[in-house]
Amino acid sequence: MSKRVALVTGASRGIGRAIAFSLCHAGLDVVFAARGVEQNEELAAEIGGCESCGGRSMRVNLDVTSPDSIKEAFTRVLKEKTRIDVLVNNAGITRDGLAVRTNAADWDGVLDLNLGESFRCIQQVLPGMMRNRWGRIINITSVVGQAGSAGQANYAASKAGMIGLTKSLAQELGSRGVTVNAVSPGYIDTDMTKGLPEELKAKILGQVPLGRMGQPEDIANAVKFLAGDEAGYITGQVLAVNGGMYM
């Protein structure tokens, strides 16, 4: 049997990059999808030097803010790889601010990119997964979508929406052999969190029973599990990887 094909959005850095390489090491043929990713020479060199990738993994430009870009990217991947067995919806943005000051652009932009793009990407893979009667859809949500966060109403709503989307699709697609799950990261050491003031970092860490930040690889390991055959009887679930920050 040929390698299963996985596509990871937002795969150029941080959690997405860790997920993509983790799936690659697990023996999947991985598509690294992100805006401008084809121009990322560092990523190209890393893929080329990875024995597990075997030269099969590809990079594809994907602007998740554009429905046309989504359709074009998935059409290209399906033409070259013939199928997509695993989809990881990881791309996302934040535009934080108190609700009283949040304008329509910041509200709509976060909801549409984080939640809308996930649904549009899912629509691209559903026909093939349903036809093959096998598939894994894994949505990267957030502890904020479960617990809420002051100043992040738009982001929390988008991530909570991904949980609802996950559970609804799990019910819809289970009879076709397609599982749909979510992974909910907590406080993870990424470029997004590196810029936080030290005082705020200390405050957040005080809420984590394990007393440390998570690493992108912690999220990648959870995704790798859900993408494999071992998780074949798990669907509609939210796997929290947060060090106990929210239980």
Residue 245 maps to a domain: no
The residues annotated with a catalytic role in the active site are 155
Q: What is the pTM of this model?
A: 0.95
* In a domain? residue 181: yes
Q: What are phi and psi of 231, to 5 degrees?
A: -100, 20
Q: Is the pLDDT score of 226 beyond 90? A: yes
187 in a structural domain: yes
Token pair for residue 114?
């984080």
Q: Is residue 48 part of a domain?
A: yes
pLDDT at 50: 77
State the average pLDDT for the chain.
Answer: 94
| Count of domains forming the chain | 1
Q: How many percent of the chain have pLDDT more than 70?
A: 98
119 phi and psi angles, rounded to 5 deg: -65, -40
So what's the pLDDT on residue 142? 97
We report the CATH number of the domain holding residue 135 as 3.40.50.720
Q: Mean pLDDT throughout 188-217?
A: 90
pLDDT tens per residue, range 123-173: 999 999 999 999 999 999 999 999 999 999 999 999 999 999 999 999 999
pLDDT score for 54: 61
The confidence score (pLDDT) of residue 46 equals 82
Tell me what pLDDT residue 42 has.
83
In the predicted model, is pLDDT for residue 37 greater than 60? yes
- The C-alpha atoms of residue 54 and residue 58 are separated, in whole angstroms, by 11
Q: Which domain holds residue 229?
A: 5-239
Does residue 244 lie within any of the structural domains? no
Residue at 192 is within a domain: yes
CA-nearest of 77, 6, 12 to 223 is: 6
Segment 88-98 mean pLDDT: 93
CA distance 107 to 128: 33
Amino acid type, 54: G
Question: Which residues on adjacent β-strands are paired with residue 83?
Answer: none
